[in-house]
């Protein structure tokens, strides 16, 4: 069974340029998460989707970041314009969903963004 797939794995851009990351969750997983991982730190949630609805986007900097999950399957995270401080690893995760305490999040390999 395929895991969470993210692309690209690496992206180098100049500041003020736009950038987009793509995530395909595990088949059948209703919940999709985007996390930001700064160097030497643990991941922090940016946004969580239940199917196509964003149910927690309180930590998403909405002035420059946007995300979509139009058909409740794959998702795109966009930054426009990128700033030097956006250099980090962007992680996507998925889970079956629901309120069960056994619900497990599975992570993709991430996209490492470098803004020059």
Partner 1 sequence: GDSVTQMEGPVTLSEEAFLTINCTYTATGYPSLFWYVQYPGEGLQLLLKATKADDKGSNKGFEATYRKETTSFHLEKGSVQVSDSAVYFCALSDQGGAQKLVFGQGTRLTINP
Instruction: Look at residues 83, 93, 18, 98 and name the one whose alpha carbon lies nearest to residue 50.
Output: 98
Contact between 106 and partner 1 per CB under 8 A: yes
The contacts of residue 84 (CB under 8 Å, 6+ apart) are: 15, 115, 116
The nearest distance, CB 109 to partner 1, in angstroms, is 4
Distance, C-alpha 38 to centroid of its chain: 13
Q: Which residue of 36, 43, 65, 77 would you call a contact of partner 1, by CB under 8 A?
A: 43
Contact between 109 and partner 1 per CB under 8 A: yes
Contact between 100 and partner 1 per CB under 8 A: yes
Per rule CB under 8 A, count of chain residues that contact partner 1:
30
- Contact segment (CB under 8 A) with partner 1 among 17-25, 28-36, 61-69, 79-87 equals 28-36
Q: Supply the DSSP string of 42-57, one letter for each residue.
A: --EEEEEEETTEEEE-
Cα→Cα distances 15→94, 106, 112, Å: 30, 31, 15
Under the rule (CB under 8 A), what is the footprint of partner 1?
A: 3-4, 31, 33, 35, 40-45, 48, 56, 91, 93, 95, 97-110
């Amino acid at each position: 069974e395929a895991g969470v797939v993210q692309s690209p794995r690496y992206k180098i851009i100049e500041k003020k340029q736009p950038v987009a990351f793509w995530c395909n969750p595990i088949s059948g997983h209703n919940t999709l998460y985007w996390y930001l991982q700064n160097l030497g730190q643990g991941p922090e949630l940016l946004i969580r989707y239940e199917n196509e609805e964003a149910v927690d986007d309180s930590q998403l900097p909405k002035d420059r970041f946007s995300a979509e999950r139009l058909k409740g399957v794959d998702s795109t995270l966009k930054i426009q314009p990128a700033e030097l401080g956006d250099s980090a690893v962007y992680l996507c995760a998925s889970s079956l969903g629901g309120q069960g305490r056994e619900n497990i999040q599975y992570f993709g390999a991430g996209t490492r963004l470098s803004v020059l």
